[in-house]
Amino acid sequence: MRNTGPIKVKKLHPLFGAEVSGIDITRPLSAREFGPIRAAFEEHSVLLFRDQPMDDDKQAQFSELWGPLETTGSANPAAGTKFQRQSNLDIKTGEAIAPDDMRMIYQKANYFWHSDSSFKRIPSLCSILTARICPPEGGNTEFLCMRAAWEALPAALKATVAPLIAEHALEYSRNRVQKGILSAKTLAELPPVKQRLYQDNPINGRRALYIGAHAGFIVDWPKATGEALLFELSQRADQPEFRLSHAWREGDVIVWDNRAILHRAT
């Protein structure tokens, strides 16, 4: 694909998400070329680029336009790199990993709605996922518009939620799969952090509900009461009209805003 002019942005869903075409993101982009992409990201929260054959170097090059890259922790097969691998294939051998292998059990937490790195002191702005090898069927990724979820909350509930702080930890989401699944090393690397229950976009001011599977409880609330509130907010957010499901094709690249979107594997 070669650039032929201004990018084209086509909505994928009435509330959020857009397909961006007319640009080759596998090559180096200038600030002038990247500017409209970043503007579309702030507006639509999820961007899809089709037919972009990525390798690790090209993906890192594109990713660095968005800011500093995280180093992957010890819990992921790609630990120590700037990538995470979400696959049922062994990185070293290329063979399928058995369903009862701890690496596959660990990945089951990706079936819960979550925001990447909300359990870190500096949460992730965005995630960039590329489709290198796709299964013949299934494997969709679903996205949830947390701006719409916030806007749909009753005024009284918004007032209750606004001053609250939740504690997030990778341990909380992984314990939902199997208690004790994380190593002592991982737990030491990723202690719990505190986050507000909303995020405001600094460009357009739109507010998004900020929860997900990594949120364990509400600070200074009784544990059961806080868990009940987080469950209620999750149920209110998980509505079909707020949801976008993406069926992957090889060459797809998706960038999503972790401040405004929850996502999950299927």
**Lowest mean per-residue pLDDT among 74-78, 135-139, 157-161, 193-197:** 74-78
Band (92; pLDDT cuts 50, 70, 90) = confident
Tens digits of residue pLDDT in 106-116: 788 999 999 99
Residue 209: the pLDDT is: 99
Q: What is the pLDDT of residues 142-195, one digit of tens each?
A: 999 999 999 999 999 999 999 999 999 999 999 999 998 898 988 998 999 999
Give the Cα separation of 189 and 178 in Å (integer): 19
pLDDT digit string, tens, across residues 16-57? 999 999 999 999 999 999 999 999 999 999 999 999 999 999
> Nearest 5 degrees, angle CA 253-CA 255-CA 259?
165
- The secondary element (H helix, E strand) that includes residue 36 is helix 31-44
Between residues 96 and 195, which one has the greater pLDDT? 195
CA gap 239, 183 in Å, rounded: 35
Catalogue all structural domains in the chain, each as residue range(s) with its CATH number: 8-265 (3.60.130.10)
pLDDT confidence band for 2 (50 / 70 / 90): very low
Please give the Cα distance from 201 to 198 (Å, whole number): 10
